[in-house]
Structure formats: C-alpha cells, structure tokens
Chains A and B, each alone.
Chain A
Amino acid sequence: MGRYVIRRLLQMIPVFFGATLLIFLMVNVMGDPIAGLCGDRACDPATAARLRQEFGLDKPVWQQYLTYMGNVFTGDFGTAFNGQPVTELMANAFPVTIRLTLVAILFEIVIGISLGVVTGLKRGRPVDTTVLLLTLVVLSVPTFVTGLLVQLLLGVKWGWIDPAVSPAATFDELIVPGLVLASVSLAYVTRLTRTSIAENKRADYVRTAIAKGLPRRRVVSRHLLRNSLIPVVTFIGADVGALMGGAIVTERIFNIHGVGYQLYQGIVRQNTQTVVGFVTILVLIFLLANLLVDLLYAVLDPRIRYA
C-alpha cells in the first residue's frame, strides 16, 4: 500500500511538468501581454521594455519556463500585473472555490446517489421515469442558463437569496451557486448510480444476501450500494478537479471571487504568471483527487489490492 502510494506520487512528477509546460507554451502563444496594459494607446517603448524585463518576457520561452519553475519550487509564483503576488491571489481564491466545490460535491453525493438508488431499485416505475426525464432536462440545459434563471427567480423575483455572493463567500451563500454548479454532474451521478444498482441487483451475492434473510436495508446499503459505487466514485473524483477549474461560468454569474474568476481575468489580461500558477495548483489537485479515488476503491471493494 505504502509503495503503491509512493509509486503513484512519483508518476505525478512527469505529468506535473508536462502539464505546466503545455500551459506555459499556450499562454505564450497568445503573444506579448504588455501591449494590453496601456489601454487603447501605445505604451511608451522605454516603459514597455522595462516591464518586459521585469516580468522576464524579453528572454526566450525555455529560459522563462526554467526560471519560472525554479521560482515555483521556492514558493514564488510571481507577480500579477496589478502588483499583487500570485500566492496572495491564490490565498484569496482557493478557499472560496474549495468551499464552493465542497457544497457542489455534497449535493452530488447526497441528492445524486439517493436518487440513483431509488430509481435503480424501482426501475421502470413512474418514479424512475420522472427522475430520468428530469435528469435529461438538466443535462441538456447549459449551466449559464440554469445559473441566470435561478439567479433571476430566487434573487430578483422572489428575493430568497442575494443574487451576488459577498467577498467573504460563506457556506450559506454558496448553497444556490453550488447547486447550479453541481446540477449537470448531479444528473450524471444519478444515472450512473441507477445503472450500476440496476445491474448489480441481479448479482449472485445480492441473491445470497437476501436468501440469508438479511434485512432489505442492510442488503441495499452494505452489499448492493457498496459495490455499485465504484464507477460513481471514479466520476466524482475526476469531477473535483473539473468543478474547481470549470467553475468560471458559475463564478462569474454569482460574483464569486474564486479560482475561475482569477483564471478568467488572467487569461483576458494575458497574465502568464497568474494562469500558469493557478493551473499548476489545479493540476496537483486533480492528480491528488485521482489518487484518493484509487485508494477509495479498496475501501469499497476489499477484493481490490494494491501492490
């Protein structure tokens, strides 16, 4: 087990370098960011040259990348164009986005899995058909439509929530945005659980458990659900990364100053340091979440062994 974890951690190193290099190159392809700093007019050449020097943009790309990586390992993620260190931006943005992601994941687990179990057990019944239809609707409506609609109805028309989240972004403010963010994944989780449950319901070990005279509750929760959760856990694990990086739309709609917003601003202002820094951390989170998922397999299915 320990060796397995170490091997996985070592495998992360090339993935990490590859991913950061790719992002670095992509941001560089967009061109010289200094030209955008002076509005609709030309920066005066001397100041522009000095800024380029200060941000290291006058050096060849490989050298910029090496310097950047060197700094990253000493904890220096560079400075954004507005003079703030990127680490400061991260310290502000990540807690907010992590809270939002937690709310979203919680919705996925609680609502998604419960609905999945119910529909999986009652396949073909009206409940099943209704939920399937609902998930289809959720899946086919883009997040920004759901977001704007919910914001307009709950925030403006009925006044149940504030349409914009305050900078503090506490858990209670994030419930509605979290639900919007989770909506599509929630539908997937429901469908995944449903299929999995429906399939395993007819498995031998379930029949044995029922024949043994175990109460229905125990059969479902201990035997059926536990085995059916493996694909769902894989999905949710991969979704953690996707939710954190992909919250750009939801964060913009609900005024959440999180990772998505910082990334968006970084891209619009072509700020290499911000974009690469945030993506680097996201890559790490994604890798760790995947490792956690793989470890969880063994919890769910004791037959799985690591070596």
Chain B
Amino acid sequence: MRGATHAKWAALATAVALAATACGGGDDSGGGGADGIVSSSWGDPQNPLEPANTNEVQGGKVLDMIFRGLKRYDPKTGEAKDMLAEKIETTDSTNFTITVKDGWTFSNGEKVTAQSFVDAWNYGAALKNNQKNAYFFGYIEGYDKVHPEKGEATADTMSGLKVTGPRTFTVKLTQKFSTFPDTLGYAAFAPLPKAFFDDRDAWLSKPVGNGPYTVDSYSKGSQMELKRWDDYPGDDKAQNGGITLKVYTDNNTAYTDLIAGNLDLVDDVPAAQLKNVSADLGDRYINTPAGIIQTLSFPFYDDAWNKPGQEKLRQGLSRAIDREQITETIFQKTRTPAVDWTSPVLGEEGGFKDVCGDFCKYDAAEAKKLVAEGGGIPGGTMRISYNADTGSHKEWVDAVCNSINRALGDNKACVGNPIGTFADYRNQVTTQKLDGPFRAGWQMDYPLIQNFLQPLYYTNASSNDGKYTSAEFDKLVDQANAETDIPKAVGLFQQAEEVLRDDMGAIPLWYQNGSAGYSDRVENVALNPFSVPVYDQIKVK
C-alpha cells in the first residue's frame, strides 16, 4: 500500500529527531552555613577566560575569584594593597624591583614564583597571542618589540622584565610612572601556572589560578561551579562553600528567578525593574558608586567642531543638561550627576573633587548665552550618536536632547542618532565617522585618577576617540606621572583636569552606580568599585 510506505518514512524521520534530542540533566542545591553554595547570575564571557584577554565584567567576575595578583584593590575603599607583593621598590619611578611573598601556590600545587609573573606578562604582551589587554604592558621596556604597531614581532619577551631570583624580578619602564605599582591589581597582571603554557585549551576549559576559589566544573555558555579552595594561603579566605555562576539569556529573567527564590544574587538589576526593586527586595538591594563615568565627547577631528572660541559652546551645552532631573526620572538614582571627570570611588585622597563647579549645573539662561557666544551649534542642529542595542541609551539621549532644546528654546538644536549595534557604533567612533557629539562611557581599569584622564584626553591616547588635544593638559599629565610624591601627583592631575574643564574637552554627565539584589538566604553582600560582587565575603545563613 502506497500510503503506508509514506507513513513509515515519516515515522522514521520523527523517530530519528526524537532520538537526537534525548538528553537529561540534574539539579544542584547547596546546604547552609559556611559550606553553603551561593548561586549568582552571569553572562557568557565575550572572550576566552585569560587574564590578559578579559576586558568585561562577566569574565572579570571569574578572574576575581580564581586569581590574586601582586596588589589587590580593597573592595570597600578601592585602595591598592599588597597581596602577593612583599615589597615593590623604586628610586627613580622607572626601575622597579618586585619581591613576591613566600608560601603562595596555585591550586594545582605549583609554586607562585617571579617566573610565573614574568611568563604571564610576556604572554599577555605578545602580539601573536591576540590578547585584548596587551596595552597594559605598554609602559614596559621592549613592548614595542613584542607588540609592534605594524608588522611582525621581533622579540618573544620584553627586555624590561628580568627574573633575578626565585621570588624577585625587576621591571624597567620606558617612562617615569610613579603610580605603576598601583596598577598591578588589574587582572591582566595576574600570574599564570605552567599548566597554562603547556596546554592552553585544557586550561581554558577548566582554569587553574591562585585565588580563594577553584573551578569545579565549567560548561561553556551555561554554568560554572566554583568551590572554596581550602588550602588557600591568603587572609581573604572564602566565607561560603562555593559560587555557582548561571548564565541567563536576559537580566529580566535572572531578576524574576531571584524574586521566585531560585537565585541568590543578581548583580545587574534591569532598568525596567528599578521602580519595583524596593517593594520586591526591601533592604536587599544595593546601589553603590562604581568606577564608571558617562560623558559626551566631541568630534575635534571635524573642523566644524574645532574652532577657537567653541569652548563656550561646549560649556553652554554642559549647562543646558539637567543632570539632576535625568538621573532621577530615567535612572531612578542609579546614576549620580557628575561634578568632575573622574569618579567618587577614588575618594578625596585619590583625586575626586568638584572641579566642574558651575559648568556642570543646569542654568538655561546662562546656557543660551554661552552657546550664542560660542558661535552657536554648527549647522544649527547636532546629532548625539549612541548604540541602540544595549544599555537603554535611547532614553537618556532623548532626555539630554530635550533638556538642551528646552534650555536653548530651539526644538531643532539636538536630536538623537541611534546606531544599530555596539560594534558598528564603536567602529564609527574609532574611524572618526561621526560629525556630532557622541556618548562615551569609561570603566576604570584601576582606581587611579591617571586612568580617568590620560587614556581619554592625552593627545592621541588609546581611547581619545574625539581626538581632543591640549599641550597644557599633556604637560601636566607628564609632570604628574613623573612625580614620586603621590599627593603632589594627584594635585597635578587635578590641575590637568582644570585645563580640561576650561576647554570642556568632554561634557561629564553622570557617574554610574553598580546595582545588585540578593535573596534572604545570603548576607554580607557588597559590590567592589568595579561593580563586581565581593563573592568571597558572602555568608550563607
């Protein structure tokens, strides 16, 4: 029978499809007390989980748990404290002698030596390894040989790094950089075990480090289970039994899972839920400053935006933005109006100071006057560019434009210019395609005032996307870097910031806070200045 044969074929195809999908899985649940397991939301890391290749917060979370570097930033104050470093000595701010503490090992038993650091740094700097944080090693002598701007590398290792003993090594920089030791807390400077160099693929599928946690299991793209390392030699031992990081497809789902009691910690409360968060979580919601500042940059490479006297225009625009209102209504106070170009996490000693003053205060009349004195907006209309795919930028750009239009009494003064994807946006920014102001966000690498100024506004610096340039600013930054006395160096950086203010090289908008919510199963939850949860301090009730 014809029909029956067809039916058999169809049934066979269905059976194959069914068999192909047969699969099962288990569920995990942690106990309570000191051995309790904390489950936390996660996103798929964008890059392979190598210290010098991780430049976003999702990968950063893991590195923060499984690695300890020479320095560690205090989770509360952000101050760089010695971790594996016994001492870091210098007499001229160019040559540093670093001694590694005794008694530290990786979780596989291998000793952490000076060689572990030097090998890791050389690996991170080498062009052939495609490490996205390679530029961190740019101050070390010989970097231009292993990572030339064009062509092939002519050396495998940096000449500025020399191992002088099992626990000591020297670093030679190409320029004076007095705060260099304080940068060594960044994950890119972590040591790497021999296992990494022997079999990188195996290491990446189950990373081994020297931090308070070890990776127990890792299924890429969905979940990582970290267990407390009982033999961890440091004094910041984990206060819980382990952390399970779960990848969520959407931060709204993670939040819902937290409310339903299936998840202990969400470190990214979705913007849409901010209104309900205090009703849902009460005091289990954290909203603390993080080292992130949002600014509006200007296209100084465009002649229309680079005329003498236009600093008045930029200052006027700054005064036309009602920061208070926007942070309150759009961001529900998860942003703080900016008063300088750095971040409150630096603290006053670190250089945070109200440098901007009146220039960051909303005043419609003054704004209108300044913009007119500065020659008006080039072409009569400016477009603020932003990427529309992530970060709810549309809302605030529209609000900023509304604020400017209202202040100037001109409905055509400012409009938003959405760009589809982040990659496309960054591409247009870095190739100088934009002809108007554009949004810029800066997340600090290490809590130093230098990190908020030099990479962004120094002539031709790596992230100086608007191509701002000022000889006066550059001179002050150079002086500050050469200054060995830290308070004096900070003072010089602040002077440089004043130059930036008088030019209004970029309009500071607001400081971004880190936000997190947690379940009633856990306590002692906090975010560090990098808006990463301090996992090792979390206690399970």
A and B: partners? yes
Residues of chain A at the chain B interface (Cβ within 8 Å): 30-47, 50-51, 54, 81-84, 88-89, 92, 95, 98-99, 102, 151-152, 155-156, 159, 162-164, 166-170, 251-257, 261, 264-265, 267-270, 292, 295-296, 298-299, 302
Which B residues touch A54, using CB under 8 A?
Answer: 130
Residues of chain B at the chain A interface (Cβ within 8 Å): 2-3, 6-7, 9-10, 13, 17-18, 20-21, 23-27, 44-48, 55-56, 127-128, 130-132, 134-135, 147-150, 204, 219-223, 246-250, 252-254, 256-257, 259-260, 262-263, 389-390, 420-430, 440-443, 455, 462-463, 465
B125 to chain A, nearest CB (A): 11
Q: List 30 A-B contacts (CB under 8 A).
A: A35-B423, A35-B424, A35-B426, A36-B421, A37-B423, A40-B442, A41-B455, A44-B134, A46-B127, A46-B147, A81-B46, A83-B47, A89-B221, A99-B23, A102-B18, A151-B253, A151-B256, A156-B256, A163-B262, A164-B253, A164-B254, A164-B256, A164-B257, A164-B263, A252-B253, A255-B250, A255-B254, A270-B421, A270-B423, A302-B3
Q: Is the CB of B442 within 8 A of A253?
A: no
The verdict on A50 contacting B441 (CB below 8 Å), with A37-B47, A251-B249 known, is: no
Q: Is the CB of A50 within 8 A of B130?
A: yes
Closest A residue to B138 using CB positions: A44
The verdict on A36 contacting B147 (CB below 8 Å), with A82-B44, A167-B222 known, is: no
Q: Is the CB of B135 within 8 A of A44?
A: yes
Closest B residue to A44 using CB positions: B135
For the complex with contacts A35-B429, A253-B250, A257-B247, 8 further pairs of A-B residues with Cβ separation under 8 Å are A31-B428, A32-B424, A35-B424, A46-B150, A151-B253, A167-B222, A257-B222, A295-B10
B134 to chain A, nearest CB (A): 6
Which A residues touch B427, using CB under 8 A?
Answer: 31-32, 35-36
Closest A residue to B422 using CB positions: A36
Closest B residue to A159 using CB positions: B260
A31 to chain B, nearest CB (A): 4
Closest B residue to A300 using CB positions: B3
Q: Is the CB of B250 within 8 A of A35?
A: no
Q: Is the CB of B253 within 8 A of A299?
A: no
Q: Which 8 A-B pairs have the closest CB atoms?
A: A168-B25, A36-B423, A167-B222, A35-B427, A35-B426, A83-B48, A41-B463, A31-B424
Which A residues touch B420, using CB under 8 A?
Answer: 30
The verdict on A95 contacting B21 (CB below 8 Å), with A30-B421, A156-B259 known, is: yes
Which B residues touch A151, using CB under 8 A?
Answer: 253, 256
Which A residues touch B148, using CB under 8 A?
Answer: 46
Q: Is the CB of A168 within 8 A of B24?
A: yes
Q: Is the CB of A37 within 8 A of B249?
A: no
For A298, give its contact among B6, B127, B222 (CB under 8 Å).
B6
Closest B residue to A100 using CB positions: B21
Closest B residue to A84 using CB positions: B220
Which A residues touch B55, using CB under 8 A?
Answer: 38-39
In Å, the complex CA distance between A253 and B428 comes to: 32
Which A residues touch B220, using CB under 8 A?
Answer: 82, 84, 88, 92
Which A residues touch B48, using CB under 8 A?
Answer: 82-83
Q: Is the CB of B257 within 8 A of A170?
A: no
